[in-house]
Amino acid sequence: MHALTWLVAASSLHLHLLVPSPFLGRRYRYLSYPLYALAIALAVLELWQLLPYQAFYLGLLLASVGSVGLLLIRLCVKTPPRVRLATRQMLAGVALAFGPGIVLWVIPSLLDVPRSGLLNLYLITFAASLFPFFYVYALYKHRLGGLEFRANRILSLFSFLVLYLTAFILVFIFGSRWVTFTPQSLGFALGLSMVFIIAGLFLREPFQRWIDRLAYGTEHNPDDVLRAFANEIPRALERDALVQLLTREVCPSLLIRQSALYLVGDTGGALFYSDGVFLDEKADVSEHLHHLLATATQYRPPEPDDTGPFSWVRLAIPIEVGGKRLGVWLLGRRDPDDYYPKPDIDLLATLGNQIGVALETSRLFESLRQRAIELERAYLELQELDQLKDEFVQNVSHELRTPLTFVRGYVELFLEGMLGELSPEQREALEKVADRTEDVIRLINDIISIQQAAVEKMRYEPVNMGALAQSCVEAAQLAVQRDGRGDKFEFILDVADDVPPIWGDRGRLRQVFDNLLGNAVKFSPDGGTITVRVRTRRYRFGDRGELPAVEVSVSDQGIGIPADKLERIWDRFYQVDGSTTRPFGGLGIGLAIVRNIIDAHGGVVWVESVVGEGTTFYFALPIHASPPQREDAHRTGLLGIEVPRTEDAQ
């Protein structure tokens, strides 16, 4: 056995010259040959009993000190992070394997207390088994695959039990100096055991974190990382924001130096970003991605013979949302040893799900943004076309009104006899020409009016709505009498006594009355009663609250308006009956003019109608103490005012 000790010592030194990396490169071979030659020589001398009996202890000491010294040298010199991490793990294994034995041997000697020989022997034997476990784990951790996580937890529990039992025995050794262990000291033993059990519950998790730092070289807490980024990643709606979050925050927090993200579609893979590695965006990588996805969420140890474009990949995380695969997240070199343990793989898989949500949200966001851009472009084109149409209509209207004015002037001269006597047949024909010319001029004036309403400034002045209504009703009566239908219509004007004047544009408000009264006459082919009422009410004008107002209503007993057409009658050029054979003329802009004028005054307008019974148009204008600001009135018209109902009246 003594001779074998010298060979074991040489093997131990040779092992530590090789692992975790060859010491002095390939030159370690020049040390191994003399080392084994010396060991064989000493073993032979030991067999011939030419060495002192205690000499083999010197061999054990030299082997132990030399092995530990080689490990310490690796920590002192510049070595790769992977080698330093493995070296620390091996030194921890040496300390945990032989430390308890040394402590339980030395401390009782210093305190001059008896040792628990058999118990110490069992514990030392139990602890010494950690030595090969730590070495195997440190050197082959990358090759364990899914078993690595279990090996880590078993090694952690094994080490914790060794330290736990060592501390427990030491406390009893200290206690033996003051407590005589008799049946009466059972309370001390039970109390001490309870303290150790409780302490073990609280110390187990910190010890596991220490083992993880020792095994992986990282100090991050997966739960903390998940909480930090789980809500941030889905909020990155733009590509640049998501790339910056992944490359500047997520990967650095996990010590990942290389990463890339590919979007997977029917046509192959498209590079979304790459960091720390050069990738050709135009290269066809479909086959490579398929191969990587076959081992998704599994650590891929480096292969020296692999020289492909994705040999740097250590982990592939699929990006999926709702069962649909959107891409693959490739992760490569990582400090300190390029390894991804199971907790980190689970963490990255969870972050991958969040990336999938961000990608899908970003796609929808980009689609909506493009749609908004297209709609804005279409809107601008429609605006431009609408402006061109308005300019065309206005120019044509002006060009038509000029010759029609001449036509009307000459017809009036003929009818007044200033250009000679007319026969009855000629006079009747010219009167028809005059009527049709007047109708065309009225239509042209309406078109010009609706164009000017949007650009001309309101001319505010105090307006007596009762007097204005009376003037317009009288003008409507004269118009129907001139048309020979005066006996079919009855006009009623009902003005309350307490109606105060309002600030408004008299000419525009007159146009409102004229259009409403003209519609009442036009859409009452059988005649009937047309009633105009002017009252003082209180109304809610949207966000301005409830204000005093003048309400005007114009009622007829005509054909009425269908309920499904009530909202559209305010649109320009809209006709309830838009056919070419409709019995009523007009361009369908009279009510649009009414609404624009009322909106410009900050008022509201609405309609109530029953088909076959008649229609009532209402408008309400607020009573102001001073002229309203044009900006306020214009803003009110654009935003719209809540249409009051009859029950809103106070």
Per-residue pLDDT tens over the stretch 51-104: 787 777 787 888 888 888 888 888 888 888 778 888 888 999 899 888 888 888
Answer yes or no: is 95 within a domain.
no
Answer yes or no: is 398 within a domain.
no
Cis bond upstream, residue 301 (ω within 30) = no
- Tens digits of per-residue pLDDT, 207-236? 888 888 888 776 666 677 777 777 777 777
Q: Which of 60, 79, 98 is the last residue of a domain?
A: 79
Give the strands of the sheet with 546-555, arranged side by side: 489-495, 528-540, 546-555, 614-622, 604-610
Provide the pLDDT for residue 236.
Answer: 78
Answer yes or no: is 6 within a domain.
yes
The Cβ-side half-sphere exposure at 211, using a 13 Å CA radius, reads: 22
Largest CA distance in the chain: 165
Answer yes or no: is 486 within a domain.
yes
What CATH code is carried by the domain that includes residue 570? 3.30.565.10
Provide the pLDDT for residue 464.
Answer: 93
Answer yes or no: is 478 within a domain.
yes
At residue 459, the 3 state secondary structure works out as: coil
Query: In which residue ranges of the chain is pLDDT below 50?
Result: 455, 578-585, 631-650
Provide the pLDDT for residue 579.
Answer: 43
Q: Which two tokens stand for residue 264?
A: 């997977």
Provide the pLDDT for residue 13.
Answer: 83
Q: How many domains does the chain have?
A: 2
* Kind and range of the H or E run holding 270: strand 268-275
Q: Which of 21, 48, 79 is the last residue of a domain?
A: 79
Rounded distance, CA 641 to CA 266, Å? 52
Cβ-proximal residues to 62 (8 Å cutoff; 6+ apart), any chain? 9
Rg (CA), the chain: 49
CB 165 within 8 A of CB 359: no
Provide the pLDDT for residue 172.
Answer: 74
Could you tell me where the DSSP H helices lie in 230-341?
Answer: 239-245, 251-253, 286-294
Rounded distance, CA 57 to CA 498, Å? 124
Rounded distance, CA 300 to CA 314, Å? 5
Provide the pLDDT for residue 265.
Answer: 76
Answer yes or no: is 512 within a domain.
yes
Owning domain of residue 540: 456-648
Rounded distance, CA 180 to CA 178, Å? 7
CB 519 within 8 A of CB 442: no
Answer yes or no: is 337 within a domain.
no
Rounded distance, CA 514 to CA 19, Å? 104
Q: Which of 79, 112, 129 is the last residue of a domain?
A: 79
Residue 84 to residues 79, 80, 335, Cα–Cα distance (Å): 6, 6, 11
Provide the pLDDT for residue 578.
Answer: 43
Rounded distance, CA 519 to CA 599, Å? 20
Provide the pLDDT for residue 636.
Answer: 36
Q: Which two tokens stand for residue 284?
A: 């066809």
Please state the φ and ψ torsions of residue 541, each to the nearest 5 degrees: -100, 75
Provide the pLDDT for residue 638.
Answer: 30
Answer yes or no: is 555 within a domain.
yes
